[in-house]
Amino acid sequence: MKNPTYPEEFNLLRRLFNTAIDSARPVRCVPAALIEWPDPVEWAQRTGGRTVVIGAGKAAASMAQALEAHWAHGLDRLEGLVVTRDGYALPLQRIRLALASHPVPDERGLAASRQIRQCVTGLRPQDRVIALISGGGSALLVEPAPGLTLADKQAVHTALLRCGASIGEMNAVRRQLSGIKGGRLAAACHPAQVLTLLISDVPGDRLLDIASGPTVADTGSATEALEILARYQLDVPPAVLTLLQAGGHDAVRPGDARLQGHVHRLIATPQQALETAAAQAREAGWLTHILGDGLEGEARDLGKVLGGLARQIATRSQPFAPPCVVLSGGETTVTVRGDGRGGRNVECLLSLALTLNGLPGVFALAGDTDGVDGQEDIAGGLIGPDTLARARAAGLNPRRMLDANDAHGFFQRLGDSVVTGPTLTNVNDFRAILIR
């Protein structure tokens, strides 16, 4: 951190952020989820079956590595493949690893999706599958529905990312265009047993929205997807409309016999990360309040709301008395109108700074727990009472940069970006406001 103006406050905010990330690391949460499951050697001896590991998401490699470490003496009985994004690779001993592009899918993701399907083809009732699913899997598991191409999927992904749609809306569309999401991967594992371990990056921890639910029965519809495309006036390839207007394809619905007996376990969630950070703040002597783990909406609008709340606390002692720390999570959206470098967390943070307008005693951090805010390898940023004054002294126009969706450029120029590198996990956005 280059800005030395508020070392105490900024250091505390960084510690809270790091604590939230650490609480969701697979090395901490994967082993506990496997306690009741026999190791691969015992399973093979008892049933004669195989243990196949598949997975997708930003945490897929770290989840696979934690699984291998937990079952180290049974490594020779493990097999399978997981896919993660570029920069998130880790060394694995038995489980194969593929890398692909995120957030816009590429040919490598398509190849990995087909290879994962091949891994679970022809399994028997005595075999078992362990699926490691985390945020980011929607772009990495990209096998198109029949009649669609990778280019069709890329066009839809790009349009959805730019229009301001919520994560639930984006995934409702993507599931209908997929040959592998919305429970289709789990159906392909039939008749094997399936255990899915999930790290949630979505508001409300809705299983169907984590990586678009490759092992979860789909409750959506092609009609819903069409309504979302119309709501945001998205121009999508003709083949996409043709598929949706025909009612989609091969839906895997709740009650499908191919999913009978499948087990899903949430092993890390945004709420758990917030509670862990709150405990640390309290240990440091701060009254701490959690607003919620599922705050959504346009990033700059949420920044205004949080700024208004912080002002009310600082000046009226309502609804909380200062000094205190206020935490929140969720996933905001950005409607891209400018040509800046984006980032929903830093856009929220810059809007918060503008709303506070230099109010003394208020500090904040906003960041993505995967270490990537938008398409930049920057997790987020920090603000203090002097943020706007320093920016203007440096020749920056905060309002103009917000309007241009260039909050990353703003915080980098000030030296107030938060850079973690790949965290190898993902429990969504983290926001902390400290009010003296």
Q: What is the pLDDT at residue 310?
A: 98
Q: What is the pLDDT at residue 1?
A: 38
- DSSP H helices, 232-377, are 238-245, 270-283, 299-316, 344-356
Model confidence band, residue 4 (pLDDT cutoffs 50, 70, 90): low
Average pLDDT of the chain is: 96
Q: What is the pLDDT at residue 106?
A: 97
CATH 3.40.50.10180 maps onto the chain at 26-143+178-217+252-268
**Can you tell me whether residue 425 is helix, strand or coil?**
coil
- pTM for the model: 0.94
Q: Please state whether the peptide bond connecting residue 191 to the residue before it is cis, i.e. omega within 30 degrees of 0.
A: yes
Contact status, residue 396 vs residue 403, Cβ threshold 8 Å: no
Fold assignment, 7-20+271-435: glycerate kinase, domain 1 (3.40.1480)
Give Cβ neighbours of residue 111 (< 8 Å, ≥ 6 apart).
98
Give whole-number Cα distances, 213 to 201, 258, 270, 399, in Å: 12, 15, 18, 39
Which residues, listed in sequence order, are joined to residue 55 by a DSSP beta bridge?
Answer: 82, 132
Q: Could you tell me the end-to-end alpha-carbon distance of the chain, in angstroms, rounded to an integer? A: 21
Give Cβ neighbours of residue 8 (< 8 Å, ≥ 6 apart).
none
Closest CA to 111 of 133, 81, 136, 155: 81
- Minimum mean pLDDT range among 4-18, 68-82, 292-306, 417-431: 4-18
Q: What is the pLDDT at residue 250?
A: 87
User: Among 3.40.50.300, 2.40.30.10, 3.40.50.10180, 3.40.50.10320, what is the CATH number of 26-143+178-217+252-268?
Assistant: 3.40.50.10180
Q: What is the pLDDT at residue 6?
A: 73
Closest CA to 277 of 300, 296, 293: 293
1 against 301, higher pLDDT: 301
Q: Please state whether the peptide bond connecting residue 103 to the residue before it is cis, i.e. omega within 30 degrees of 0.
A: yes
Q: What is the pLDDT at residue 351?
A: 98
Residue-wise pLDDT for 226-285, tens only, equals 999 999 999 999 999 999 999 998 889 999 999 999 999 999 999 999 999 999 999 999
- Taking 70 as the threshold, does the pLDDT of residue 2 lie above it? no
Q: What is the pLDDT at residue 3?
A: 53
- Taking 90 as the threshold, does the pLDDT of residue 141 lie above it? yes
The token duo for 335 is: 């409607």
Q: What are the percentages of helix, strand and coil residues in the chain, rounded to 5?
A: 45, 20, 40
Model confidence band, residue 363 (pLDDT cutoffs 50, 70, 90): very high
- Taking 70 as the threshold, does the pLDDT of residue 111 lie above it? yes
CATH 3.40.1480.10 maps onto the chain at 7-20+271-435
Model confidence band, residue 154 (pLDDT cutoffs 50, 70, 90): very high
Give Cβ neighbours of residue 178 (< 8 Å, ≥ 6 apart).
141, 142, 143, 144, 145, 184, 212
Amino acid letter, residue 18: N
